[in-house]
Amino acid sequence: MLLSDYFLEEDNVLSASQHFDAYIPDSLIVSQIENRIQADAILMKGSILAHQSHAKRAIPLLNQAVGYFSTHISGLPDNRKYFFKPSLNELIIKEKYVQANYMLAFGQFKAGNLKEAELALNSLIAWANNSTNKFQNMTSKMWLLLGEVYEHLNLTDKAINAFTKAYTENPHTDSESEKQQLLLNLIIKCNENGRKLDARNYIRRLEMKAAMHLHAKNPAQLAYELSLSHSQFLEQSYSTSNLHLGKIEKQFNYVPETHPYINFLYKLKSDLYYYQGNYSALMSSLEKQAKARTKTLNDDCPEYHRYKMEVALAEISFGKDLLKAKRIYAFSYFQFLEKELAFSSAENIKYLAVLSDLYVRLSQFDSATIFQQKALEANLQLNGENSSIIWLTGYDSSILTKDKLYKNALELYKI
């Protein structure tokens, strides 16, 4: 299972899944855990399923693992560490406890259960901070995920604070790639949320790290160049940003397309094409993103089909190949994502609302009304009786600013 752990750390879910299925017998996945081997196998299986966004299968397994490690951790008082060196078994049990709780929160996040994920992460961070063991690397990951949760809940200040802690509490030095990725993420979030001064200060820090390398083609330089392109994009200098990205692709063409930096580059290019109204380039870019993900994800898992749904949303936003969008919905949404997302999650509401709009465009008004009502019902469950429905419509990305809002399931509001 160590190899599967390694592959997950590298975000290669496909290899993790293949290795697990090849070497771990199904007999270890039991309904009642009796030993550590079963607990470890169930934790790994749940982790793989969570990364694939098979949330409804992952969460019960991860709950099992949390229950097992919670029981075994209760007999390990922290105060003995002030007098004795903790045993290796004790350290492993606590690390597994942290990992199981983190993955459970991650599974809830993937399912759209944001409040559950927020509560679980805050409790886990408090526990880790009170423990005499150091879980700095995991604590950094907890803060990063909590930042994503707060961002989806539109709690901007809390999100920025969490992303900052993810960076500052990471145990690696600024010269290491993992820390640089967290710094780039922090720059992006500060820029997107109007904290320009903070973003500029962080960009200068990244620039200094890049300048310390003798070779111009280093990871810090790539991160720095991407931060500049993203800033140009937010300043609506689309042509300048696009030219800059083209130069980055040529200069760093040796970096594999599965690398997080290249994944971000693809997303940023897609956003540029969207704002420039370049339909053909946008569709090509989105298809390229989806194809790249097949190297690290099974094409039969919901996480992969999130990328396919980006294609459908873009088609609807541009009003082009609506039948293609309908086919993608029929397969990617109804066969995969609908089964895993919480009905009242913001992501599911968005998919339902845009589907209603698709049927309006196809003059299938009965179907449009059905999905309008579903969207309204889900929104009622999520936000309460007096809330209004406002969500992104059409092409959607984590980078996009919210200038296209959907105010009614049968009406597009365009600024």
**219 lies in the same domain as 144:** no
Does residue 277 surpass a pLDDT of 70?
yes
**238 lies in the same domain as 259:** yes
Number of domains comprising the chain: 3
* DSSP SS3 for 413: strand
* Mean pLDDT computed over 33-46: 93
Residue 302 lies in a domain: no
**2 lies in the same domain as 132:** yes
Residue 301 lies in a domain: no
**283 lies in the same domain as 320:** no
Residue 215: its pLDDT value, please? 67
In this structure, which long-range contacts are made by residues 7-13, counting pairs with CB atoms below 8 Å and at least 24 apart in sequence? 8/47, 8/48, 8/51, 11/51, 11/258, 11/260, 11/296, 12/258, 12/296, 13/48, 13/51, 13/52, 13/296, 13/297, 13/298, 13/301, 13/303
**313 lies in the same domain as 290:** no
Contact 405, 393 (CB under 8 A): yes
Q: Residue 256's Cα: distance from chain center in Å? A: 20
Contact 332, 305 (CB under 8 A): yes
What residues make up the domain containing 176? 172-296
Does residue 359 surpass a pLDDT of 50?
yes
Does residue 79 surpass a pLDDT of 80?
no
Confidence of residue 230 (pLDDT cuts 50, 70, 90): very high
Burial 302-339 (b: 16+ CB within 10 A, else e): bbbbbbbbbbbbbbbbbeebbeebbebbeebbeebbee
The top-scoring range by mean pLDDT among 96-110, 124-138, 165-179 is 96-110
Residue 74: its pLDDT value, please? 65
Residue 400: its pLDDT value, please? 26
| Residue after which a domain boundary falls, among 133, 166, 199 | 166
Residue 247 lies in a domain: yes
Please tell me what DSSP assigns to residue 392. E
Q: State the Cα–Cα distance between residues 274 and 400, nearest whole angstrom.
A: 9
Residue 261 lies in a domain: yes
Residue 286: its pLDDT value, please? 93
The top-scoring range by mean pLDDT among 19-28, 191-200, 334-343, 389-398 is 334-343
Q: State the Cα–Cα distance between residues 163 and 390, nearest whole angstrom.
A: 26
Please tell me what DSSP assigns to residue 337. I
Residue 214: its pLDDT value, please? 58
* Mean pLDDT computed over 161-167: 95
Does residue 393 surpass a pLDDT of 60?
no
**7 lies in the same domain as 139:** yes
Q: State the Cα–Cα distance between residues 358 and 281, nearest whole angstrom.
A: 22
Residue 61: its pLDDT value, please? 96
* Of the candidate ranges 68-77, 145-154, 255-264, the one whose mean pLDDT is the lowest: 68-77
**8 lies in the same domain as 133:** yes
Residue 408 lies in a domain: yes
Residue 354, Ramachandran bin (φ over 0: left; ψ between -120 and 50: alpha; else beta): alpha
